[in-house]
Structures are given as C-alpha cells and as structure tokens.
Structure 1
Amino acid sequence: MASNAAPVQSHVASVQLPSEFKTEYHPRSGRSTIYQTFNEFGIAQETQDAPIDEEPWRPFRSRGDFEFSEIALDAALNKSQINALLGLISRISQGQAQITLKSETDLLKAWDNAAAELTPFSKHEVPVTYKRNEQEYEVHARPIWDWALDLLDNPMLAPHFMWDTCRVYKHNGTEFERFFDEPWTGDRWWDIQLSLPPDVENAVPFCFILYADKTKLSSHGTVKGYPVVVRCANLPVDIRNGEGFGSGRVVGWLPIVPEDAAEEGKLGYTMLKRVVWHEAFFKLLEHATQHSKTGYSHKGYNGIPRWLFPVILILSADYEEQCMMSLIRGRGGKCPCPVCLVPLAELHDLSKSYPIRTVEEAQEALRVHKLSKAQGEQVLKALGLRPVANVFWLVLRSSLHDALSLDRLHSLHAGLWKHLLGELKIILASLGRDAQEAFEKFHRIANFPQWRNLNHFESVINISFTDGNKYQDLSKQTLYPALNILTHRASPVGYQLLRVISSYLQLDSWIGLDVHTESTLAAIEAELLVFDAELKAYITCAEESDIEKLKLDWDFPKTHLWKHVVRDIRHKGVARNYSTCPNEKLHGPLKDTYHHRTNGKDVATQILRIDHHRFSLKLLREPLGDLGEEDAPIAFNGHVKLGSPAPHPSTIIDVESRGQTDCAFQSFRRKFSEFINTALPTYGHQLTSWLTLPGDFKIHEHRYLKVHYESAVDWRQNTDHLRCNPQFHGQPRFDHALIQLTAEKTTFVRLIFMFKYDISNIGPFEFALVQPYTTITGPRRMDRIFKLTRVKAVPRSSSIFIPLSSFIRGAVLVPDSERQDEYFIADHIDGDIFLRMKARRVQ
C-alpha cells in the first residue's frame, strides 16, 4: 500500500445519519405530529427555564457545612474521626468556605434537618397467620407516591418529565421507520394513556419502575437485606439510571422470613414467604393504589395542570424475584414462565409461542379456589400459580405480566451464558490438558486486547465468580480462542457448541442496542430461530457424545425468557429500561453502610437512616455542580484530541533511527516528506516548491488519542480512548482504529506513532503513522458460519501516514492464532461496531 495515500481532510461518518425525524403524539395529548431535523430532535418542547435556588444547600447553615457533611458521609467517618477533623478545622483560620459545625451532634442534627425535607421512612408491623398463630413481620416503607411528590416538587427535574406517549420515526432514505428507545415510545404507555378516564382533562400516567431483591450484607452471608428500589419512567434514561437526584431510590426494606430447615420445602412455609412479601409490599403501594383510581391533580413548573394516574409500568427483577412478584410456582410448576403459559417441557423450544398470562385468569382461579379448594388447586396448578392475592392487582392499569421484563444481567449473562460457559469447560477438559492450555495460553484468552471498561481475564477454566457484568465481558472474548481448538474434526460437540455461542452473541448484541427499529426487531426474531435450531442440534450432539456431564435438559426458564424480548421492546422500549444493573449498584453502598456505620443491631433502621441522609445530600448537591475546574471537560476542535505528550520533542532523524528495530520507521523522513507535500494542498496550502524537511526538524510525539464519534445506534456522541504507548502500565499498547481512508473507503489500522508538528508560516498539523489492514476477499467457511469479519495486516514496512481527522472510532482486533497477520474484528464489543460490521458485510 502506498505510503503517500491522499488523506481525507475531515472525518466522514461511515453511517449516513437520518436527515429528519417524525414524532406522532397520542391523540389524548392534543399535540400535532411534528417533523424535526437531526439537530432539533430530542429538544424539549417546554423551553421555560426552571427556577434556580440561589442557596440550594439549605437547611445547612452554609455551603461549607453541606460540603463537609457530604464528605464525612461518603467517607464513612466514625465518631472519633469526625470530632478530630472538626477540631482541626476549627483551629484553622477561615477560608472561602465557612464551617460552623462543632461536634458530631451538630452534624447529625444537620443531616436530620436535611433529611426532614424528604418524606421519611416508616416502620410497619405486618400481621400474618402461620400454623394458626399470628406473627408480625417488620417492614420499613416509604410509599412510592411520597417519593414521586419529592420528584415533582424539584424544579431541576421539572423540565425533564415526559407526560405524553409518542411514536417516533426516523427516515431511512426511503420511508419513515418507527424506532423504540424510552418507555414512552412503546405501545404499553400508549394503551395506558388511551385507557385513562376520557372525561378528565390532561390525564397522564406517572409510571413507576420497581425492583426488589435480597442481598447479603455481611461477608459471611448471615445478615441479609431486602431493599426495594423505585425509579420514574417519565424521566429520561440518563437521569433515572444515573446517580444524581431523579435516579433510583431505596424506598422499602422488606421482611425476610427466618430460615427454618424443618419447614423448608413444605407448602405452608412456601406460602408464608409469599404472603409476607405481598402484605409487606402493600405498604409501599397504598397511596398509589388510591390515586390510580382517582388521579392526582398536579400543576407543573410551567403552570400546566395535569391529572396524574400512578401506574406500575416495569418490574425489574431476576427470575426468582419475578416468581415472587407473579406468584407462579417457579421451576417446579407446570408453566414456569412468569409471562406466558409455556409448558415446562417446551422451555427450550423458541420456535413455538404460547398464550400470554392475564390478571383476569389468575383472579378467576383464586376465586374458584376460595369456593372449592380442591377444584381451585387444580386450576391453579394448571396455570402454575400460588393461591395468594397479588398486591399489584390493586394498582389499576398495571398489568403484572406486561410489567415483568427480560433482565439481560441474570437471564443471559449470569444465566444462559453461564451454562454455555460450563459446557465449554467440560468439553475442553475432555480434550485434555493440551487443549485447555491452548485455550488459555497459546490461543491467548489472556492476551485478548485491552479495551476501556472491558474486564480482562488471565484465566477462564479455573476461575469462578458471581458478577454478571464479568460474565458479559467474558462472553465477548471466549469465542475467538476456541475457534482453532474446537474444530468439527477435533470435537463435533464442541464445534456445535461454538455455533450456539456465536448465535448467543448475535442475540445479546442485538438485544443490547439502545435504540431499536422494526429492522432490528426483525433481526432478533430471525436470530432466535437460528439459536433455537443450533441449540437443538447441540442437544443431539451431546446425546451422541461420550463426554460425561454434558447438559441434555435445557428446559429451564432462562433458556426461554428471551423469547419475549421483542414484545418487551415494543411495549416498554429498549432493554436498559428494565435492566437490574443500575439497581444492583445500590447494593454496594448498603453493604458499606452495614460494615462501617452500624453496630449490627436494628440494621434496617440504621441503614435506611443513613441512606436517607445520603439521598438528601444528593438533592442539595445537584444544583451546585462541580466544585472546581479540574474535572471540567476539555474543549477541542474537531472530533479528536491528542494527549499524553512525550517529555521532549524528537528530531525527524531520531524518529527514523527507530527503523533499526522496527521496519515501520524505515525511510521515515523520505516517506513523511512525500506525504506532506501531497497532503498540504488538500488542506488549502498550495506549495510553490517541494517542501524539504531538515534532519533536525522537530516532531512532538503523543501517546493518547481521544476520539468522539456519532453512534450508529442512537446518533449520540460516544468517545473512544486510544493508546499508542510502548509502556502503558508496564506493557506496550498500540490500539486499533477504524479510519476513513478515502471519501468512499474505510479500513482498519493499528497505531504505530502519533505526532504533532509545526511548519513555519503554514501552521500545526496532527498525523499518525499506522499499519493498515486489508479485508480478505472470499471469506472462509468458518467466518461465514460464525459471522466473523477477518482482516489481514499489510507488512509493517508498508506503514502509511494519515491525518488524525480521518479517525472514525477505535476498534478491537483479535489475532487468529493459526494464521499469521490475520485478525478478527471483535464486533460484539459495543452496539456501534456491531452495526457497522453488519452494514460492512452487506456492502
């Protein structure tokens, strides 16, 4: 490849962005359909500025008091540490911030005063009869409607609430195609708004997202908590899944029925747990149940009055908790899916569909059970239900089985993938130590390229963990090192397992997109059938294999649950709307509070009090913004920014001397001179004579590049952080990238050298020396089967110069251990590269 290839002057996106959007509002909203350009889309229609509180730290005496109390709470300082620190500060002359606190008592009083601005938790006793004896179970609850009123009263959040459902479309070059992202773009919200009382003006739903799950507080697991988290679906995902005010809040602490080995497994004990759960949960819903019938009058910050009707739109939970919420009998029931009536023996068959459960049939079954226990038990067993009244029936328009949603974290990453990984380990073990070592060492699972926010694994076979996010990262890396080990000849069952894993990765990538269109939903439906066929073929192979302990029974719920994901997306938007990930992040602070701030007695009261303090400080922190300028974003021209400069500039001769050990730098001076004489005219600098670079010409090397790009998924700005560093944390790291080579052609490259230079009377320029990769024509059969994109590196001596403005985004390239200089594009790293590779294969 020529070293003086003409560069493109500026970044050209590889995905043509839509030129206009259409938003079709619900008929009840009274709003007309609007058409917007790309720059206009997503801007709130209500443009009035929210009122600004000049002293948001009140009721603290000063901003300094607030900042200190926030630090003390986050740092989990104990009493002596707090008193010692305050004593020291009191002896320091006053600076910009004034501190009036004198003791821990003052601080606790300030915390309590701040928390008093929010509705507090209440402790309730729930009486439940068990074995003819009435017992009381303690539940800490803050009704979710009280929490909703706090949100509604916050002027910073007011402009962000979305009240009217809408259907949104983007133009794909031929027609407007509907897409789904936020909950209000789904059909469920549309149907709810249509069902509101027609005689009530400006009737809109206030939509809740609820999560509940037990968590171990103590390291040995004997002390547990049962938090309930609430989020508001009327707020954008960046707010509700973020960490600021408007994000998730612990609003309840459910009772845990004490373990009883003698009773475990007995029907009465099982029923007790469910009755306690639903009776306790009512304490969170009691105000919402009433307002769901009558509505609640509220005037927004812009003066528009609305009638708000509470709705449970989404229930976010793992399978075990979904069984508790829906009151199904779980894995042992005849119909173990909380959403549909699929029989137990058909869970693995994704090609079949079964009726969706309804609240009405469950209520009718319970009515029959009250009239005749024997007859009712038969009806309930056929439906896989427990004979308990469901608390969610009390909130109108909150269809339980519509609210239950696929959770990728537990159903896929820590569920189905965990089973596939277990099969992989068994098959590798059956091939012997050499195969295991080849997988982990020679085929480089440990050398999978580093990437920002991607967990890296030194070993797979001999490690175990429970973190679903790590399972997700591991799934993205496992296929490549196994390709040349589990061939069809070496292991037919292992080869078929890789086909299952490949389809799993396709589905997980499709499902994980942050925006879905009719096209992507069709792709999910099609790939589900592929996965179904590959899994059935694997079961057949496993039955014929002599390898012991392979899984033959795939009739368990997590194989089936993603059958409903397309329905979930159409009803409630994309998968991150109902993910448990942001909710489980809240378990960490609760555990830290237990270990560092409680005395082990009345744990729930202490933890919730401190969490209440923390949340009240978050409310006060929000309007203050950043305290300093050190974390302020760095503005830069264009979409790339060089960083990590070398300590001293190098002469062009010094750089060329690297060619003694790396042929990429051979003839650096000549090649670069040819390049800039060709490139400068494309930047509008007409040269009157050939530009000659002296041997002492200075070049400023940089080892870090930040690249902004517009995502092919949701058209928002994403950022990649690329390294070109011989010693990055003790290891060489030279990342890969996708670049715009010409106006029509993109290609992958590996960074070799990034630099900035200044030419007198012309100006500064930024370039990179890179090693290009060429796409292999006529993909191999293996690549077609596993949907892989393979590229081949040109010799390093054929390295080329490119302007930094030609970078599109970063990329991860995984070497093929069997074929020198050939690499696979890791297209499951994120949704953007996944869609770009799909489009590339179609071309």
Structure 2
Amino acid sequence: MSAYLQYVPDDRQKVCDTCGRSFKPKGFDHHQRACKQRARESEEDGELWASIPPVQDRSEPENVPEHTSVDDIRTEFHPHTRITTCIEAFSDFTRQHHYEPPCPDRHPWLPFRCQLDFEVAELAHETALTHEQTTRLIQLVQRGRTEDFTLKNYADVRNTWEAASHRLTPDTITVPLDGNDVKYIVYFRSLWDWGVDLLRHPDIGPHCIFDAQRLSKFDGDSFIRFIDEPWTADAFWECQSQIPPEAKPLAFILYADKSKLSSFGREKGYPVIAQLVNLPVAIRNGNGVGGGQVVGWLPLVKDDPKYKGTQQFANFKVAVWHAAFKKVLASIIPPSKHGHWANCWDDVVRLFYTLVLILSVDYEEQSVMSLTRGMMSNFPCPICLIPKDRLSSVMPHNYILRTCQAMNDLLIKARAERRKGQREAILKGQSIRDVDNTFHEMNHKTTDVHRALCYDHLHILQVLIGLLGRDYAVKVDQNFDALPRWRNMNHFDAVMAITFTDGSKYEDIFKVDLYAALEVHTTKTIAAGRKALQSFSELMNKYICKSEALRPDKNWSFPKIHLAAHLFDDIEAKGATRNYNTKPNEKCHSPLKESYQQRTNFKNVAPQILRADHWSLVSEFIRGRVDELAAYDARMDEDEVDKTGPDTNITSNFHIRFGSRQPKKSLEAIDKRHIDNPSFRRFRTKLNAFLNALPTVLQQVNMLPSDEIIEFRFLKVNYESLVDFCQTTDYLRCSPRFHNLPRYDCVIVNTATGVFFARLLFLFTCNVNDTSYPIALVRSYDMPIGRCLQKDKHLKFWRVRLQPRETASEFILAESIIQGVALAPDPTIPGNFLIMDTVDSDIFLRMKQMHLAAGHLD
C-alpha cells in the first residue's frame, strides 16, 4: 500500500465496519454510506459475472470435413447469396477480387484540355498559390513551353476545376426559437451520388464487398470464428437479413466533430466526413479517392447570453444539428426503405439498400445524435439506460439497451401529454430531449442510431495525469523521452503540454492497444478481452475505495469509463475498432485547417474551404488516372529483360533481408574501428568459434585479419502475424547514425533452448566455403531478475535485464531472429527493461503466449 494511504488510528477516529479503515469524524458518515453501496454493487457485479455463460465460439468439430488441415479457412456466406460454404487452404485464401483492369482512358486529364494544363493547375493548388501567383506561373509556362498548354489565367483554372464535378451545395434550414424562425446555412453533397461514384470507379469499385460473411480458421480441433472487417461481424449480417434477397447493403460510416481552424480557436468548422463500409479498411482509412470524404459542413450555433444555461436553448442547439444533418442524410433516406438501382464498375446493375452502420464520434456528439442530455443527466449513456451513479462500473450489466423504436415511442408518448411538466417528466425518465431525431427517418430495421454509436478511447491521458499534479506530469514527460524510437510510432520528448488536431498522435501517446485495438478478433480474444475488462473493473473499484480518503469529492461516475462496457459488443457487431475509431477521420481536419489559413480571405470561410477540399479530391482522382496511364504505357513498352537477378546492395532469404550495405572491410579494420567498444573485443576469435560450431560448416574455419566481411545497417524480418495470419514485416535498424541519432533496435531470438531478447550491435555477412552467412552481433537481455515483482504480475509486465558485462556479446545467425521488439527502460530500477507489448497487436498476443508458457497467467 502506498504511504499516502497509510493511517494511524487515534481516539478521535472512527472505524468503518465495511472496509475496516479508520477515518476522522468529519466525513465519516459520507464514507460509510458510499462504502456500503460499493460493497453491495460489487456483490451484485460478481453474481452477474457468475451468471453469464461461457462465450460460445461456434466451434463445430463434429462437422469438420475429413481432409481439413490446420489453418484452413472456412467462409460461410449470407443465405441471400445462395453460395454454399467453402473451405480452402490458408495459402489459397484471399480477400481481393481477381479482375483484369481495363485499358486506361487515353485522356485522363479531362476536363483539362491537356496533361500540362492539369499538372500546372495541380501544382498551383498543392502549393496554395494566390490568384495573382497562379496567373504569373501560367505566363511563365507559356513563355517556355515545349508541349501543348492552353491555360490563360486563374479564372481559366478555376472554371476547369469546377467543370470536373459538382461540389457541396449550400442550403438554408429554419429552426424556431421563442416564436421566431432562426436561419442557418448548411453545406452538403449527395451521399448517394458519392457512394455510387465509388461503385463506378474502375479501381475502387472492384474492392467493394456486398455480402456478409462469417469466417473461421481451423485450429486442429474446430473452426474458430474470426472478425475483422464490418461485413465479417454480426450487424452487417443482420442488416442484410432485413432487406430483399436480391438487394445488397450499401453501408456508410459517418463522422462529425468540431474543428479549430485558426491557431487560437476563434474560427471553427463542423465537417461531416463519410466512408464507405463496403470497402476494405486499407482503402477506407487511407488517403485518396476511396478514403474519407467531406460530405457536409454543419452550422455552429453561437451562445446567446439571454438563454445561457437554459433547457430551451440546449434543445434548440440540438434541433439545429438534426435539421442540418437531415440535409446530409436526405439522399440515402429513400433508398434505405425502398432501395435504389445503381450501375457499378463492372457494368452490372445492382439494387442497393442504404444504411448508416457506424457513427464514429466522441461522447459530446454521441449525446447530440442520440438526443440524450449529456453527462449530468440521470441516464447519460447514449447506448443503455444505466443510472448515473453506476457509471464507474465497466462490468456487463442487464440494463435496458436504448433502441430507435423505443425512443421514438417515448417521444410520441410524451408529446401526447398536454401539460409541459408531465411531458418533461416522461422524457427526463430516460434523459431524452424533446427534439425530432433525423436518424429516425432512416429504415429503423437497418439503421439504429444507438447501435451505430461506437466506443472510442482517445483524448483522455492528459486529463488523467493532470489530476495528479505537476511532479507526475514532469515524470511522465521524462519517461516518454526515454522510450525507444520505433517504426510507425511517433516519438515524443514531452506530451503533457501539447495538443494535436488528429487522433493519430494521441493514439501513440496513449498506446494501450491490448485487446481493444487488435486488427483481427477471434471468439477467444473477445472472451479474454471481456475477462481483462472484468479485472480492470475490480481494480478500479479497489482504487476508488482506497483513494476516497484523499479525494472524497472525486466523482468516478463519468460516461467515458462506462462506455468501455460496450466495447466488445461493438467489436462483435461491427468488427475491429480500427473500423470506427476517430483517428482516420480526424486526419481530415489538418487539410481543412490548412485551407483556411492558405486559401481563404478569412471571411465567409466555409464555401472557400469546401471548394478547396473538393478540388483536392478532383486532383487526386485525375492524378490517379494520369499515373495509371503512364504505368500502363510503361508496361507495354518495356523490354523483355530478366530482372530476377540478386540485388547487389542487399542479401536476403524469405525470412530476413539485409539492407543499407556498407563497403567491404577486413576483420582487422573492424577491430580498429571499434577498439573502444568492449562488445567488439576478441571479435575475430569469437567469430571463428561461432562459425566452427555451426552444423553446416564441415571444415575447420580460421578467419584471418585480412579476411573481409560486409556490414549492413538495416534488417527486414518477415513473419506470420498472430493477429490476421498474414505476413508482417518489421523494419529494424542497426546504425550509428540514423536520422542523426544512433539506432540499435532489439529483437526476439529463437534458440534450441528457448527464446531470448537481445539488442542488435552489428550486422554483416561473411563467406565460408563459398557460402554467405548473415550474422548479427548482439547483446542479450538474459540476466536473471530474481523474484517476480508483485506489480509485474498485476500489470502483466515482462521484465528483462541486460548482461552487466559489456563484453558479454555474442554472434547469432540472423535467421534465428523471430521479429523486432521495443524495450523501455524501467525508470525505477536501473538496468531493467520492460517489453513494450502495446507497440502493436501482434507483439501483444506473442507476449501473451510467452506469459502463458512461463506460467505467469492463469
């Protein structure tokens, strides 16, 4: 127990009968009531956990075909497809369509009159040139042109961009307030037209998936279901069951959040960004034509001192939001009920029923979308009817789930009351606002706003640490600075005093992937995740109890912690969290802010920003077609030359690949260059001993000082991911100067006696009897650490210690490296390091396996 929580009772203190702790008389009654309530809730939670049956993994060992092999993939298609279930070898399983791409358009730059016209306009747009600068650039190109060029001035460029496609159009909404009609402008584009544009796109359309699937992988005994994309989860399957058999679901993800456009936050925007669920996540969350696209720009209601803090004005702001959002949804409301035909990329006309499957927003927008009354209401959760005073629990519960139909019925019942007080009492009973919900206009069988809302875990670290005080904030900054650099992860010198416009950096700061962020889930990982959630809830209750004496006024019942209770229900319904976390869509805020700062006159900015955003989309589309034509022509013109010979700069096999080759050096030169480095002492002697111990070396080896080796400073390791069963690659560095800093990554090494962790010191190849051996000099982290610390058991840390002698380096074959790993120094114990098992979801699962094998977990 921390020293902060140790108390010495005296004659004036009272002892709590429930927890047995002593308190001063002041505040004792408050503690005793709260303590008894927590004890009752904990007992109820335990009974509920005990009553929940084990998770069923839908294994069917009795139906496994006779010739099924380990890792075979079974695909069960939705009954509407009339496609029989198939089982195929893992090596044959593919998620991509195989199709012959059509011959590219020979004039991909249209509506620009020639390619040079487009490329000059593209450059002017990318660099945010002013009208005058664009005209000057055109004049310069005209003076020195050697090919067709027809642009005359900025007006000509603008008119050509506008001719490329229709952009967002403005419309006016009217919402009453105190008997007066208040008008706002909302910008939107047809969601249906945008979706159909993607279906018709020759490069995007073929990747669309229209039918729900259930995928499972054979583990030797049974088929274990796995979930990743939305169409492999339950909600997509259920939605397809609600539409005619000949129809296909066309599903959307919608994201809405206010964005600061100016540096000081005085100017804000409210974009609505859409993604097409039917596209794979790599395209859907990527940049370019198939990624997120701005489809709306909502009005922002300014606070009025006259109505400040009133229920009337709060309802008015929500009513404005729904009236504006209805314009965004307008084009997909009729197809959600009656369907709509569309001609796709393959010239096949399909019947589509539209739906909103996912709403990717933070808690504030969730409350607005669901018409709940926010965190101070009696039932703040937009998904279920849990009381406010139970929000600190993330345990599963039997509280009623909200549904679109039930909320609509409640609204009708309340409005049937003549007296305002009675109407308010009915709505307040479930914390619902007296406002029409635009999502109720959609087909309620396939779109339910409460089911579409999702859990998002970003943007909370700084708040939690900030509550602990300045000293803790300084320690957090120091510890972040000490973390190793790692590919695809931002490195921070400090984190407590900075803010970002998108969630990608917040996600790296708050890198707690655990089960929530796995790219692929199985029934087993979901069950393990629910168990981890149970452990978290129990520890949270203990922490709240122990910390109450220090902060009796602290209220732990807030919605963000409770929403985690719905986390794994979301995963089962909509797939992995990367399908709906806010990070991909928050990336769109940066170009919008850039357009505000570089492409507007800071007056009436919405149409200027949206025009620039639309031009960017058109530019990406045309650029893609131009590059496609260039690549096609290059393939047609290239000579038939055998290009399968080895790359002289790298050495490789399937598992490992060396790169960043250095000039050949003799062993004598290596010794001289590293004479001050103890890890390189007796380099040649230890190398000879290592080579002679290899079973493939049949003759005695004696490398001489004049013998040469080739150093490499880059290592690529391929391995099968434990998450999605596909090949994954780690890019590792072993360099004295990488981006002006030394970088020596760590690895997991496989040996006959087990695995160990090591730091790369030197990569090289040497030739022995005409055979090239890829070798790594490493320093291992295999020093015994003694008795396992209690906190390591609780927090599931894997602790390692570096060999204290700097001369304790050794050679290994590079092929024995399993994968890379990041090690973080433990600031409390010098020389100790902790495995960063949250860098990515694969290392998390791999360390989970190692914990189980070592007996650290039940």
TM-score by length of 2: 0.84
Q: 1:22 aligns with which of 50, 71, 74?
A: 74
The answer to whether the Cα contact below 8 Å between 1:50 and 1:156 also exists between their aligned partners in 2 is no
Aligned to 2:486: 451
Aligned to 2:25: none
Instruction: Tell me how far 1:249 sits from its aligned partner.
Output: 0.7
- Does residue 790 of structure 2 align to residue 781 of structure 1? yes
> Which whole-Å CA distance do the structure 2 matches of 1:605 and 1:518 have between them?
48
Instruction: Tell me how far 1:18 sits from its aligned partner.
Output: 5.7
The count of residues paired between Structure 1 and Structure 2 equals 762
Instruction: Tell me how far 1:463 sits from its aligned partner.
Output: 6.2
Instruction: Tell me how far 1:423 sits from its aligned partner.
Output: 4.1
Q: 1:772 aligns with which of 776, 780, 795?
A: 780
Instruction: Tell me how far 1:758 sits from its aligned partner.
Output: 4.2
The answer to whether the Cα contact below 8 Å between 2:503 and 2:587 also exists between their aligned partners in 1 is no
Residue correspondence of structure 1 range 211-290 to structure 2 within 5 A: 211-290=255-334
Residue correspondence of structure 1 range 140-159 to structure 2 within 5 A: 140-159=187-206
> Which whole-Å CA distance do the structure 2 matches of 1:41 and 1:351 have between them?
37
Instruction: Tell me how far 1:48 sits from its aligned partner.
Output: 5.3
Residue correspondence of structure 1 range 78-117 to structure 2 within 5 A: 78-94=130-146, 98-114=148-164, 116=165
Higher relative contact order structure (alpha carbons within 8 Å, sequence separation ≥ 6): 1
RMSD of aligned residue pairs (Cα, Å): 2.7
The answer to whether the Cα contact below 8 Å between 2:274 and 2:292 also exists between their aligned partners in 1 is yes
- Does residue 396 of structure 2 align to residue 381 of structure 1? no
Residue correspondence of structure 1 range 487-498 to structure 2 within 5 A: none
The answer to whether the Cα contact below 8 Å between 2:396 and 2:565 also exists between their aligned partners in 1 is no
> Which whole-Å CA distance do the structure 2 matches of 1:717 and 1:63 have between them?
39
> Which whole-Å CA distance do the structure 1 matches of 2:767 and 2:121 have between them?
50
Aligned to 1:705: 715
Instruction: Tell me how far 1:541 sits from its aligned partner.
Output: 1.5
1:456 partner amino acid: H
> Which whole-Å CA distance do the structure 2 matches of 1:437 and 1:554 have between them?
25
> Which whole-Å CA distance do the structure 1 matches of 2:692 and 2:626 have between them?
52
> Which whole-Å CA distance do the structure 2 matches of 1:819 and 1:404 have between them?
43
Question: 746-755 or 770-779, which moves further after superposition?
Answer: 770-779
The answer to whether the Cα contact below 8 Å between 1:657 and 1:665 also exists between their aligned partners in 2 is no
Question: 260-269 or 395-404, which moves further after superposition?
Answer: 260-269
TM-score by length of 1: 0.85
> Which whole-Å CA distance do the structure 2 matches of 1:374 and 1:138 have between them?
33
In 2 relative to 1, CA 622–790 (structure 1 residues): closer, same or farther, beyond 3 Å? same
Q: 2:612 aligns with which of 606, 610, 613?
A: 610
- Does residue 410 of structure 2 align to residue 365 of structure 1? yes
Instruction: Tell me how far 1:453 sits from its aligned partner.
Output: 3.2
The answer to whether the Cα contact below 8 Å between 1:292 and 1:310 also exists between their aligned partners in 2 is yes
The answer to whether the Cα contact below 8 Å between 2:226 and 2:520 also exists between their aligned partners in 1 is yes
The answer to whether the Cα contact below 8 Å between 1:23 and 1:35 also exists between their aligned partners in 2 is yes
1:103 partner amino acid: N
Aligned to 1:652: 667
- Does residue 175 of structure 2 align to residue 173 of structure 1? no
2:757 partner amino acid: F
In 2 relative to 1, CA 765–59 (structure 1 residues): closer, same or farther, beyond 3 Å? farther
1:235-291 CA distances to partner (integer Å, 9 max, x unpaired)?
111111110211111011111112323322212211111111111111122221111
Aligned to 2:23: none
In 2 relative to 1, CA 45–706 (structure 1 residues): closer, same or farther, beyond 3 Å? closer
> Which whole-Å CA distance do the structure 2 matches of 1:510 and 1:833 have between them?
12
The answer to whether the Cα contact below 8 Å between 2:168 and 2:188 also exists between their aligned partners in 1 is yes
- Does residue 695 of structure 2 align to residue 693 of structure 1? no
1:366 partner amino acid: L
Instruction: Tell me how far 1:576 sits from its aligned partner.
Output: 0.9
In 2 relative to 1, CA 518–338 (structure 1 residues): closer, same or farther, beyond 3 Å? same
> Which whole-Å CA distance do the structure 2 matches of 1:836 and 1:658 have between them?
38
Q: 2:529 aligns with which of 521, 524, 532?
A: 524
In 2 relative to 1, CA 62–825 (structure 1 residues): closer, same or farther, beyond 3 Å? same
> Which whole-Å CA distance do the structure 2 matches of 1:813 and 1:620 have between them?
45
Residue correspondence of structure 1 range 394-405 to structure 2 within 5 A: 394-396=441-443, 397-405=446-454
Q: 2:656 aligns with which of 640, 658, 668?
A: 640
> Which whole-Å CA distance do the structure 2 matches of 1:554 and 1:622 have between them?
51
The answer to whether the Cα contact below 8 Å between 2:234 and 2:573 also exists between their aligned partners in 1 is yes
Q: 1:714 aligns with which of 716, 724, 741?
A: 724
> Which whole-Å CA distance do the structure 2 matches of 1:141 and 1:440 have between them?
42
- Does residue 811 of structure 2 align to residue 762 of structure 1? no
1:370 partner amino acid: R
The answer to whether the Cα contact below 8 Å between 1:165 and 1:190 also exists between their aligned partners in 2 is yes
Aligned to 1:406: 455
What SS does structure 1 have at the residue aligned with 2:782? Answer: strand
Name stretches of at least 5 consecutive residues in structure 1 with no aligned partner.
Answer: 1-16, 430-435, 477-504
The answer to whether the Cα contact below 8 Å between 2:252 and 2:275 also exists between their aligned partners in 1 is yes
Instruction: Tell me how far 1:113 sits from its aligned partner.
Output: 2.1
The answer to whether the Cα contact below 8 Å between 2:503 and 2:582 also exists between their aligned partners in 1 is no
Aligned to 1:340: 384
1:693-747 CA distances to partner (integer Å, 9 max, x unpaired)?
22122222222223333322112333333222223344332211112334x7332
1:618 partner amino acid: E
2:455 partner amino acid: L
Question: 370-379 or 201-210, which moves further after superposition?
Answer: 370-379
Instruction: Tell me how far 1:222 sits from its aligned partner.
Output: 1.9
> Which whole-Å CA distance do the structure 2 matches of 1:797 and 1:122 have between them?
70
Q: 2:517 aligns with which of 490, 512, 519?
A: 512
Instruction: Tell me how far 1:173 sits from its aligned partner.
Output: 2.7
Q: 2:824 aligns with which of 805, 814, 826?
A: 814
In 2 relative to 1, CA 83–707 (structure 1 residues): closer, same or farther, beyond 3 Å? farther
Aligned to 1:6: none
In 2 relative to 1, CA 205–463 (structure 1 residues): closer, same or farther, beyond 3 Å? closer
The answer to whether the Cα contact below 8 Å between 2:502 and 2:587 also exists between their aligned partners in 1 is no
What SS does structure 2 have at the residue aligned with 1:313? Answer: strand
- Does residue 546 of structure 2 align to residue 541 of structure 1? yes
Residue correspondence of structure 1 range 173-192 to structure 2 within 5 A: 173-192=220-239
Residue correspondence of structure 1 range 411-430 to structure 2 within 5 A: 414-415=459-460, 417-425=461-469, 428=471
The answer to whether the Cα contact below 8 Å between 1:214 and 1:225 also exists between their aligned partners in 2 is yes
The answer to whether the Cα contact below 8 Å between 1:539 and 1:552 also exists between their aligned partners in 2 is no
What SS does structure 1 have at the residue aligned with 2:306? Answer: coil
1:694 partner amino acid: L
Residue correspondence of structure 1 range 785-800 to structure 2 within 5 A: 785-794=794-803, 795-800=805-810
Aligned to 2:508: 473
> Which whole-Å CA distance do the structure 2 matches of 1:819 and 1:424 have between them?
22
What SS does structure 1 have at the residue aligned with 2:356? Answer: strand
In 2 relative to 1, CA 100–292 (structure 1 residues): closer, same or farther, beyond 3 Å? same
Instruction: Tell me how far 1:439 sits from its aligned partner.
Output: 6.6
Instruction: Tell me how far 1:310 sits from its aligned partner.
Output: 0.5
Question: 285-294 or 690-699, which moves further after superposition?
Answer: 690-699
In 2 relative to 1, CA 401–297 (structure 1 residues): closer, same or farther, beyond 3 Å? same
> Which whole-Å CA distance do the structure 2 matches of 1:665 and 1:303 have between them?
66
> Which whole-Å CA distance do the structure 1 matches of 2:238 and 2:82 have between them?
16
Aligned to 1:552: 554
> Which whole-Å CA distance do the structure 2 matches of 1:46 and 1:379 have between them?
56
1:640 partner amino acid: I
1:343-379 CA distances to partner (integer Å, 9 max, x unpaired)?
1111002235111101122111211222113332212
Q: 1:677 aligns with which of 688, 692, 717?
A: 692
Report sequence identity in percent.
38
Question: 224-233 or 715-724, which moves further after superposition?
Answer: 715-724
- Does residue 822 of structure 2 align to residue 833 of structure 1? no
In 2 relative to 1, CA 453–425 (structure 1 residues): closer, same or farther, beyond 3 Å? farther
Aligned to 2:395: 351
The answer to whether the Cα contact below 8 Å between 1:542 and 1:552 also exists between their aligned partners in 2 is no
Aligned to 1:502: none
